[in-house]
Amino acid sequence: MIDPVTLAILKGRLEQIADEMDATLYRSAFNPIIAEARDACHGLYHATTGDTLVQGASGLPIFVGAMAFAVKAVIDKVAREGGLVEADVFLFNDPYEGGTHLNDFRLVRPVFRKGRVFCWIASVGHWLDIGGNVPGGYNPKATESFQEGVRIPPVKLMQAGRMNQDILDILAANSRVATSNWGDLNGQLNALDLGQRRFEALLDEYGNDVVAEAFVAFSDRAEALMRAALRELPDGIYSFDDVLDNDGIVDVMLPIALDLTIEGDGAVLDFSRSAGPAQGPVNISYSTTIAACYVALKHVFTAVPANAGCLRPIRFVVPDGSLLGARAPRPVAGYTETILRLIGVIFGALAKADPSRATAAPFGTINALSLSGARGDGSRWVMFSFFGGGLGGNPDSDGLSHANNPISTATIPPVEILEAAYPVLFTQWALRANSAGMGRHRGGLGAVYEIEALVDTRVSLLGERGKVAPFGVAGGGQAGLNRFSWTQQGETLSPPMVSKITDVSLAAGERLRLETPGGGGWGDPAERSAEAAARDKRLGYVA
């Protein structure tokens, strides 16, 4: 049996490998969403099941969870077709085969030892544009994935280390900003190269058998700790419901509902009462649903290691073909909005089971904003960005203001980078007063962003939380709603669908304005300390 000291050393060394892969891509990507916002991740995956073994600390957890299904898709392809050799690299973005949405490109490479696959290493990153009706891919009016971009099944980008130029040509022909994608692709390939070198050096140092035993021990420990955490919760069924504003096509709210059963050291997450398939782009695949549950559970049970073992005590009920179990070609570009609501209902249900672990709802939308147009020299540009808001209050503290959502460790792209890269001017970037839910520990504040177009610009937004505000828990209050508007020929307009709009045209000098929600409050607002309340007033957080 592997000793605890060696196990701890290997855990740190393996996580460092994933961290170095993350850093390699962040430093070399062309696209600010990867280079600055860190919308990417890397990890090591099981040779036969694809299960997550190791993930980096700075990559997006939602990607890590979904990648297990993506790697399994490659494993299944190899089982059917054969022909796997060293230095092969598979590329794909299929959201129904372990993907999320079409912008997220996955690269998967086998690591061979003694002629057999020892494990897989993988990279995923958000590419800026991959075709579709709307530059940037977030098409609020899509009714099928063909309107969101080009869909690539698992294909061999590299055969025995040799690049397949035909695939590169197809990718370049299907993007408005092919050079950006080319830079991101090479950054991902370089990350895989580095990861393989580092991992093979580790295997040479400790031996295949020791590292393989460590992988088993990591997963077993995660399972044991998750079971111990579940045993601390009272047995019972805990239900929680929330909604999406609409699907961008039909202005009807869509329920996301969870019935959580705790029984001993196991749990069942049953989403059967959630909406059926949506016409618009807020569907998510089964793999994305499981990945979102993984992220939510890790937020609550922070001591449990981040690998596939933590999901062994959990059973999932997700109706096939539903909003949370979408099949092709249901549109999925707005998957981020749905997984945020899904994470929220898990927080809400667990708050009923154990208020001491409860966290109020975060702002719950990335506000996927896409701006595009042509510069004076005729070159095309596409700016995609997501924006911050408030996180929910918790038993220990107020929520963070102007933070990112709990689906990731990504950062909000800096204003200086966005203004340098694109013909836009931010005329306001500030905290939004009165946007936080009140409580003994209030939620964090949302933000106000105002952007002036410096050239004629096309605008699309795929957001949420325009109708039902982020909820509080343990007696805490709701946060503010999401708001989007723009000026056009001196008139201020807002989306008919509240949080989703496409084909807005701004002339140079016209502006758009985004006011993001705060987080929900935790605990009775009357119990907030006088000192904290006075500070909120003094700093202008509340009126």
The per-residue pLDDT for range 126-148, each reduced to its tens digit, is 999 999 999 999 999 999 999 99
Residue 39 is assigned to a structural domain of this protein: yes
In this model, does residue 391 exceed pLDDT 90?
Answer: yes
Q: For position 147, what pLDDT does the model report?
A: 96
Q: How confident is the model at residue 302 (pLDDT cuts 50, 70, 90)?
A: confident
Cα(224)–Cα(279) distance, integer angstroms = 41
Cα(397)–Cα(375) distance, integer angstroms = 46
In this model, does residue 408 exceed pLDDT 70?
Answer: no
Reference 100, options 274, 326, 409; nearest CA is: 326
Q: For position 192, what pLDDT does the model report?
A: 98
- Residues near 130 by beta carbon (within 8 Å), at least 6 away in sequence: 93, 102, 103, 105, 137, 149, 150, 171, 174, 175, 181
How long is the chain? 543
Enter the tokens of residue 176: 């408005």
Q: Are 261 and 237 in contact (CB under 8 A)?
A: yes
Total-model pTM: 0.93
DSSP track, 378-408: S-EEEEEE---BPPPP-SSSPPPSSB--TT-
Q: For position 499, what pLDDT does the model report?
A: 96
Summarize the confidence of residues 6-10 as an average pLDDT: 95
Residue 214 is assigned to a structural domain of this protein: yes
Q: For position 531, what pLDDT does the model report?
A: 96
For residue range 25-40, list pLDDT tens digits in order: 999 999 999 998 889 9
The tally of domains found in the chain comes to 2
In this model, does residue 303 exceed pLDDT 90?
Answer: no
Summarize the confidence of residues 44-49 as an average pLDDT: 96
Residue 96 is assigned to a structural domain of this protein: yes
Summarize the confidence of residues 314-343 as an average pLDDT: 96
Please say which residue of 222, 240, 273 terminates a domain. Answer: 222
In this model, does residue 19 exceed pLDDT 70?
Answer: yes
Q: For position 381, what pLDDT does the model report?
A: 96
Please say which residue of 207, 222, 237 terminates a domain. Answer: 222
Summarize the confidence of residues 313-321 as an average pLDDT: 96
For residue range 55-78, list pLDDT tens digits in order: 887 877 788 778 899 999 999 999
Q: How confident is the model at residue 405 (pLDDT cuts 50, 70, 90)?
A: confident
Q: How confident is the model at residue 467 (pLDDT cuts 50, 70, 90)?
A: very high
Residue 424 is assigned to a structural domain of this protein: yes
Residue 191 is assigned to a structural domain of this protein: yes
In this model, does residue 514 exceed pLDDT 70?
Answer: yes
Please say which residue of 196, 222, 248 terminates a domain. Answer: 222
For residue range 162-200, list pLDDT tens digits in order: 999 999 999 999 999 999 999 999 999 999 999 999 999
Residue 53 is assigned to a structural domain of this protein: yes
Residue whose token pair is 């509240």: 498
Lowest-confidence range among 272-286, 322-336, 401-415, 429-443? Answer: 401-415
Q: Percent of the chain, pLDDT > 70?
A: 100
In this model, does residue 108 exceed pLDDT 90?
Answer: yes
Residue 313 is assigned to a structural domain of this protein: no
What one-letter code names the amino acid at 425? L
Residue 248 is assigned to a structural domain of this protein: no
Q: For position 10, what pLDDT does the model report?
A: 96
Q: Are 204 and 429 in contact (CB under 8 A)?
A: no
In this model, does residue 543 exceed pLDDT 90?
Answer: no
Q: For position 8, what pLDDT does the model report?
A: 93
- The parent domain of residue 476 ranges over 358-543
